[in-house]
């Protein structure tokens, strides 16, 4: 919806209160939407990591325009019911803080957790299969009529405190988990739904560091296996925790397919600068090998524009990446998000070039000056990373390196690479898709030929003799 659309919708549906959550990256759009809703006389409450740090901005107390009638600070599990009650009485307050009567901060426990009706809820927004392909894809194997990636939370918090990260400040360093039982029940509901609708479901465990408590994660994965609740899943886990062989075995046995690893840099000096010295670049290769041996692959995330980065950082990183099992490398720029220690350090040093960068959001653009290169050079490094990791040659190389694996794995890595390419090179319009297909035609033909050969081979095998009954 655009601004006019949302205003119309709110009026037509007679909506009395609108809640908007947003990350820093999309806050400018969130404010525009909030302005449109407030213009038709409906109050807006905003929440999430950005307004928690910038409540005055949202409430128009910093000299700028007001966008929200109320702001929910931090985790709003307990404050949301209060907000709704106050709104119904027409007594909305400006700020809702997650504190008890004595003013002490309340961190919601995840032990009692609401049951999400995954068996009946509308899952349309999570579906990646276009409508036009649904009919045909439904008939393949167990059915691919839908492919939904569903976010599931199993715990909150990460105590590591990396300098650029919002999480430790936002959720506090108190780590909380749901019960194994409630997570397993959710997976069972999702699995049954996929089977019933002849579609596929994968789960994205949104925990910031899914294995932050190894003992608990292993016990959850064991319970998933015992209950037969395996679905394909992806999670974020820091590299240091993946040293544990037993954990990797359990990840694979419980349905883990992709692990997102915040590698950030191959330079230990950079890692130390951002308080992520627990990442050891010399062990990245071994970690990725351990995962790949169990057919689990990695989304490896790198940040350029760090203080020790110099021109050529992207190629130096790619030299390493090329020696690792194929995965999905992604590249970003060091971004000072409000409220983070990084923001404060750069602010004090006078290095912020766009202190309110979120108000004029530009994708992949720095908001401060790096120490050993210019801003333009940092932008060029990111461009180099994406262009070279997602060019047709690199994609073909990734697919070929899996030649000893079943066809499904190769198709999987090909589709994933093409989709991830879209993070940096927006895939808008048919022409963009045709261009990608044309550039990668050799790999596509190769995969199609292998698929046809496998199909023909299975057809040429003699039919097994029909079973005879004891009476024949
Ligand atoms: C899942 C996730 C994603 C997914 C989202 C997919 C999906 N379908 O959900 C994907 C992978 C797309 C993603 C992408 C990005 N993400 Co992200 N993501 C997360 C993650 C891990 C979980 C979010 C979540 O669901 N949390 C659980 C819920 C319960 O917490 P919550 O959302 O904060 O909500 C609570 C409160 O904030 C509040 N609240 C939230 N909204 C509202 C609204 C109202 C009205 C009220 C009252 C309260 C309220 O109440 C909730 C309950 O307590 C968070 C980290 C984290 N643990 O939160 C990072 C996080 C939100 N992402 C972050 C970032 C930076 C990004 C990217 C910009 C990364 C990048 N460089 O590209 C992109 C941007 C994407 C875009 N479209 O522009 C940052 C945001 C920091 C910031 N200040 O904005 C976070 C905090 C991680 C971090 N390391 O700092 N992300
Ligand atoms: S390990 Fe990940 S979630 Fe934890 S503080 Fe560092 S970047 Fe944030």
Question: Closest ligand 1 atom to the C-alpha of 108?
Answer: 53
Q: Tell me, using a 6 A CB cutoff, whether residue 164 lines ligand 2.
A: no
Residue written as tokens 């090179």?
Answer: 425
Strand partners, 333: 304
Q: Tell me, using a 6 A CB cutoff, whether residue 262 lines ligand 2.
A: yes
- Confidence (pLDDT) at 462: 64
User: pLDDT of 157-167, one tens digit each?
Assistant: 999 999 999 99
Among 54, 166, 264, which residue has the most ligand 1 atoms within 8 Å of its CB, making it the best to mutate?
Answer: 166
Q: Whose CA is nearest to atom 32 of ligand 1?
A: 48
Instruction: Give Cα separations from 239 to 169, 211, 263, 341 (angstroms).
Output: 21, 10, 7, 22
User: Any idea which ligand is nearest the CA of 339?
Assistant: 1
Measured in angstroms, how far is the CA atom of residue 21 from the centroid of ligand 1?
A: 9
Measured in angstroms, how far is the CA atom of residue 211 from the centroid of ligand 2?
A: 12
Question: Closest ligand 1 atom to the C-alpha of 75?
Answer: 53
Question: Closest ligand 1 atom to the C-alpha of 332?
Answer: 71
3-state secondary structure the chain: CCHHHHHHHHHHCCCCCEEEECCHHHHHHHHHHHHHHHHCCCCEEEECHHHHHCHHHHHCCCCCCCCCCEEECCCCCCHHHHHHHHHHCCCCCCEECCECCCCCECCCCCCCCCCCCCCCCCCHHHECCCHHHHHHHCCCCCCCCCEEEEEECCEECCCCCCCCCCHHHHHCCCCEECCHHHHHHHHHHHHHHHHHCCCEEEEEECCCCCCCCHHHHHHHHHHHHHCCCCCEEEEECCHHHHHCHHHHHHHHHCCEEEEEEEEECCCHHHHHHCCCCCCCHHHHHHHHHHHHHCCCEEEEEEEECCCCCCCCHHHHHHHHHCCCCCCEEEEEECCCCCCCHHHHHHHHCCCECCCCHHHHCCCCCCCECCCCCCHHHHHHHHHHHHHHHCCHHHHHHHHHCCCCCCHHHHHHHHHHHHHHHHHHCCCCHHHHHHHHHHHCHHHHHHHHHHHHHHHHHHHHCCCCCCCCCCCC
As a residue count, the chain comes to 472
Instruction: Give Cα separations from 277 to 23, 149, 176, 393, 428 (angstroms).
Output: 26, 32, 24, 34, 39
Please classify residue 355 by burial: count the beta carbons closer than 10 Å to its beta carbon, then call 0-12 exposed, 13-18 middle and 19+ buried: middle
- What is the signed CA dihedral for 405, 407, 411, 417, rounded to 10 degrees? 20
CA distance 311 to 305: 10
Measured in angstroms, how far is the CA atom of residue 43 from the centroid of ligand 1?
A: 23
pTM for the full model? 0.93
Measured in angstroms, how far is the CA atom of residue 287 from the centroid of ligand 2?
A: 18
- Rounded to whole angstroms, the maximal C-alpha distance in the chain is 91
Q: Tell me, using a 6 A CB cutoff, whether residue 340 lines ligand 2.
A: no
Measured in angstroms, how far is the CA atom of residue 469 from the centroid of ligand 2?
A: 62
- Confidence (pLDDT) at 472: 36
Structure tokens at 62: 């910093």
CA distance 15 to 6: 11
Q: Whose CA is nearest to atom 1 of ligand 2?
A: 160
Question: Closest ligand 2 atom to the C-alpha of 158?
Answer: 4
Q: Give yes or no for a contact between 342 and 366, defined as CB atoms under 8 angstroms apart.
A: no
Among 153, 238, 330, 340, which residue has the most ligand 2 atoms within 8 Å of its CB, making it the best to mutate?
Answer: 238
Strand partners, 256: 233
CA distance 74 to 96: 9
How are beta strands 70-72 and 95-96 bridged, if at all?
A: parallel
User: Any idea which ligand is nearest the CA of 155?
Assistant: 1
Q: Centre a 10 Å sphere on the Cβ of residue 89 and count the other Cβ atoms it contains.
A: 8
Measured in angstroms, how far is the CA atom of residue 223 from the centroid of ligand 2?
A: 26
Nearby residues of 285 by Cβ (< 8 Å), 6 or more positions away:
320, 323, 324
Measured in angstroms, how far is the CA atom of residue 387 from the centroid of ligand 2?
A: 27
CA distance 403 to 79: 53
Q: Tell me, using a 6 A CB cutoff, whether residue 163 lines ligand 2.
A: no
Question: Closest ligand 1 atom to the C-alpha of 79?
Answer: 47
State which residues of the chain have pLDDT below 50: 467-472
Question: Closest ligand 2 atom to the C-alpha of 166?
Answer: 8
CA distance 366 to 304: 10
CA distance 366 to 369: 7
Measured in angstroms, how far is the CA atom of residue 429 from the centroid of ligand 2?
A: 35
Describe the crossing of helices 284-293 and 245-253 by its angle, rounded to 10 degrees.
Answer: 40
Measured in angstroms, how far is the CA atom of residue 206 from the centroid of ligand 1?
A: 9
Among 167, 206, 207, 271, which residue has the most ligand 2 atoms within 8 Å of its CB, making it the best to mutate?
Answer: 167
How many CA atoms does the CB half-sphere of 439 hold within 13 Å?
17
Q: Tell me, using a 6 A CB cutoff, whether residue 231 lines ligand 2.
A: no
Is the CA virtual torsion 230, 232, 236, 238 positive or negative? positive
- Confidence (pLDDT) at 467: 45
Structure tokens at 125: 């927004």
Among 15, 23, 124, 236, which residue has the most ligand 1 atoms within 8 Å of its CB, making it the best to mutate?
Answer: 23
Among 156, 157, 161, 165, which residue has the most ligand 2 atoms within 8 Å of its CB, making it the best to mutate?
Answer: 165
Measured in angstroms, how far is the CA atom of residue 280 from the centroid of ligand 2?
A: 15
């Amino acid at each position: 919806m655009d601004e006019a659309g949302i205003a119309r919708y709110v009026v037509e549906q007679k909506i009395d209160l609108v809640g908007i959550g947003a990350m820093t990256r999309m806050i400018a759009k969130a404010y525009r939407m909030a302005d449109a809703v407030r213009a038709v006389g409906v109050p807006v409450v905003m929440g999430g990591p950005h307004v928690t740090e910038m409540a005055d901005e949202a409430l128009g107390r910093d000299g700028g325009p007001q966008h929200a009638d109320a702001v929910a600070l931090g985790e709003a599990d307990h404050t949301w019911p209060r907000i709704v009650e106050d709104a119904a009485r027409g007594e909305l307050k400006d700020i809702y803080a997650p504190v008890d009567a004595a003013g002490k901060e309340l961190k919601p426990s995840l032990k009692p957790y609401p049951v999400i009706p995954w068996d009946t809820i509308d899952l349309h927004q999570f579906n990646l299969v276009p409508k036009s392909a649904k009919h045909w894809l439904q008939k393949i194997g167990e059915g691919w009529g839908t492919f939904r990636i569903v976010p599931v939370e199993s715990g909150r918090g990460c105590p590591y405190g990396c300098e650029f990260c919002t999480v430790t400040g936002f959720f506090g360093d108190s780590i909380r988990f749901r019960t194994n039982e409630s997570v397993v029940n959710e997976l069972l509901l999702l699995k049954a739904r996929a089977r019933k609708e002849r579609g596929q479901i994968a789960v994205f465990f949104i925990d910031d560091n899914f294995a932050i408590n190894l003992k608990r994660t292993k016990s959850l994965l064991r319970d998933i296996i015992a209950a037969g609740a395996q679905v394909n899943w992806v999670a974020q886990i820091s590299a240091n925790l993946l040293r544990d062989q037993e954990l990797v075995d359990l990840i694979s046995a419980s349905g883990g397919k992709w692990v997102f690893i915040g590698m950030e840099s191959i330079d230990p000096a950079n890692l130390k600068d951002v308080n992520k010295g627990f990442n050891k670049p010399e062990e990245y290769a071994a970690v990725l090998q351990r995962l790949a041996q169990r057919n689990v692959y990695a989304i490896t995330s790198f940040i350029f524009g760090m203080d020790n980065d110099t021109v050529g950082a992207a190629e130096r990183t790619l030299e390493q990446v090329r020696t690792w099992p194929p995965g999905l490398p992604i590249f970003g720029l060091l971004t000072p998000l409000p409220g983070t220690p990084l923001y404060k350090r750069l602010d004090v040093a006078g290095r912020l070039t766009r202190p309110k960068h979120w108000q004029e959001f530009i994708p992949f653009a720095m908001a401060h000056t790096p120490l050993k290169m210019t801003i333009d050079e940092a932008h060029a490094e990111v461009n180099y990373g994406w262009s070279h990791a997602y060019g047709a040659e690199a994609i073909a190389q990734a697919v070929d390196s899996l030649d000893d694996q079943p066809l499904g794995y190769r198709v999987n890595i090909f589709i994933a690479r093409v989709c991830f390419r879209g993070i940096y090179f927006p895939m808008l319009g048919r022409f963009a898709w045709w261009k990608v297909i044309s550039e990668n035609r050799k790999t596509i033909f190769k995969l199609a030929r292998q698929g046809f050969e496998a199909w023909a081979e299975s057809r040429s095998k003699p039919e097994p003799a029909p079973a005879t009954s004891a009476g024949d």
